[in-house]
Amino acid sequence: MRLIKICIVLLLLAQTALAQETKLAATPPMGWMSWNIMSENPNQKDIKEMADAMISSGMVKAGYQYIFLDDCWQGGRDNKNNIIADPKKFPSGIKALADYLHSKGMKLGIYSDAAPLTCGGYTASLNFEDQDAKTFASWGIDYLKYDYCNAPEDVETAKKRYGKIAQALRKSGRDMVLGICEWGPREPWNWGAQVGGQSWRTTYDIRDKWLDTEGKGGVGIYNVVDKMAGLASFSGPGKWNDGDMLVAGLHGTKGPSSAFKGVGCTKAEYQSQMSLYSMLNSPLYASCDIRKMDDEARTIFTNAEVIALNQDALGKQAERKIKTDIWDVFVRPLANGDFAIAILNKSASTQNASVNFAELGLTGKYELKDLWQHKVVGKNNKWNGEVTAHETKVFRLKKV
Ligand code: GLA
């Protein structure tokens, strides 16, 4: 009898813990990340300007709440081993920045690493997990991106180190989302949620290009999509496959995204990334300079009907139902009973698509709304039409 009671209590505790995790990142986090534009020099002046631009451009209203402050903010540790920000970059400290963002209805993410030093060679959190989590909580941090440079390659160590920081965050007294960033080699989708993470990067760093065929580390948009397409079963509320930064607006001009022939993408390609990352429930974070963002990027980032797929309460990542040399077709159910489909032309020229919904498991007729044209384009059990090179057509289907 006593054993049964203990089991029930343990079960209830486990359920509460699960509910707590799901409350964190119940939908994919959205925001802007400093890494690409600021790299070695994130600083309070530019970050505040970026936050103001996020508001004035309509990004915050569209749902991009977070500023993800990436690597290179750190200034070492003080004489009590508390991690501190570089006083030249952040003269008012990180708490003042978090307060500023919170006062604008925004949130602040920060960055550390599961080793003594980060990828950029700055102070990181190994063996200071509890202390750093408390510091982050006291600053009002809402999210931690936790990288894996300078750490051992085996899976067990990664699970242990991510588990340790996850527990430290939970004990800190503040809700902070944990974004696992070990780039995929240890297949974090298999264990990320179990150790307490809410998302995990699925590939090495994305570059500003459509496709990498050289395999030397320069991942393009479609490489990420192709990887994430196979990981649908691991994703759900509070546990997201993370495709890395949105590259719209970069045009091959700046930052780490330009490495490995990151020469820029066409409008169709940037738009496809937004469409497909929304279908696949990746966290959405812009990486271009929002202060100087062009209309093309703004239109891509702020498409409310596409964002609604990404933020849908059901949280069901799209499945790839068709994969040929030319086409990828994705389907997902939505919370209100509608479906969304995405039709990607992977070839280098315009193609005529002919998709019968029955092939996708959708029987009967549907009203079709084109989410880039923002209009209903028919009532049918199929869609035929042109799709340009690397373009993705996205439709919301309502049963009729
Ligand atoms: C790694 C990550 C990037 C970025 C840099 C910072 O490469 O994958 O996203 O955070 O480190 O040094």
Compute the distance from residue 36 Cα to the ligand 1 centre, in Å.
9
The 3-state secondary structure of 301-359 reads HCCHHHHHHHCCCCCCCCEEEEECCCEEEEEEECCCCCEEEEEEECCCCCEEEEEEHHH
Q: Is the CB of 119 under 6 A from ligand 1?
A: yes
Joined together, the tokens standing for residue 8 give: 């029930």
Please answer whether residues 343 and 393 qualify as being in contact, where contact means their C-beta atoms are separated by less than 8 angstroms. Answer: yes
Joined together, the tokens standing for residue 176 give: 């902070």
- Identity of the amino acid at 295: D
| Residue whose token pair is 């974090």 | 188
Q: Which is the closest atom of ligand 1 to the Cα of 72?
A: 12
Q: Which is the closest atom of ligand 1 to the Cα of 145?
A: 10
Report the residue among 149, 201, 246 best suited for mutation to probe ligand 1: largest number of ligand atoms under 8 A from its CB: 149
pLDDT in tens for each of the 400 residues of the chain?
565 565 555 555 555 454 455 689 999 999 999 999 999 999 999 999 999 999 999 999 999 999 999 999 999 999 999 999 999 999 999 999 999 999 999 999 999 999 999 999 999 999 999 999 999 999 999 999 999 999 999 999 999 999 999 999 999 999 999 999 999 999 999 999 999 999 999 999 999 999 998 888 789 999 999 999 999 999 999 999 999 999 999 999 878 999 999 999 999 999 999 999 999 999 999 999 999 999 999 999 999 999 999 999 999 999 999 999 999 999 999 999 999 999 999 999 999 999 999 999 999 999 999 999 999 999 999 999 999 999 999 999 999 9
pLDDT tens by residue, 254-288: 789 999 999 999 999 999 999 999 999 999 999 99
Compute the distance from residue 225 Cα to the ligand 1 centre, in Å.
19
DSSP annotation of 80: T
Which residue in 76, 75, 65, 74 sits closest to 33, CA to CA?
65
Please answer whether residues 129 and 164 qualify as being in contact, where contact means their C-beta atoms are separated by less than 8 angstroms. Answer: yes
Q: Is the CB of 176 under 6 A from ligand 1?
A: no
Compute the distance from residue 346 Cα to the ligand 1 centre, in Å.
28
Q: Which is the closest atom of ligand 1 to the Cα of 70?
A: 10
- Identity of the amino acid at 9: V
Q: Which is the closest atom of ligand 1 to the Cα of 119?
A: 12
Report the residue among 32, 68, 70, 123 best suited for mutation to probe ligand 1: largest number of ligand atoms under 8 A from its CB: 70
Determine if residue 25 is left, alpha or beta; phi over 0 gives left, psi from -120 to 50 gives alpha, anything else beta: left
Nearest CA, atom 11, ligand 1: 119
- C-alpha distance from residue 337 to each of 100, 377, 396 (Å): 39, 19, 11
Please calculate the CA angle 283-340-277 and round it to the nearest 5 degrees. Answer: 20
Compute the distance from residue 310 Cα to the ligand 1 centre, in Å.
24
Nearest CA, atom 3, ligand 1: 205
Distance from CA of residue 113 to its chain's centroid? Answer: 18
179 strand-pairing partners: 145, 199
DSSP annotation of 183: -
Report the residue among 33, 35, 201 best suited for mutation to probe ligand 1: largest number of ligand atoms under 8 A from its CB: 35
Close Cβ partners of 89 (under 8 Å, ≥ 6 residues apart): 41, 42, 43, 44, 72, 73, 75
Compute the distance from residue 81 Cα to the ligand 1 centre, in Å.
24
328 strand-pairing partners: 323, 344
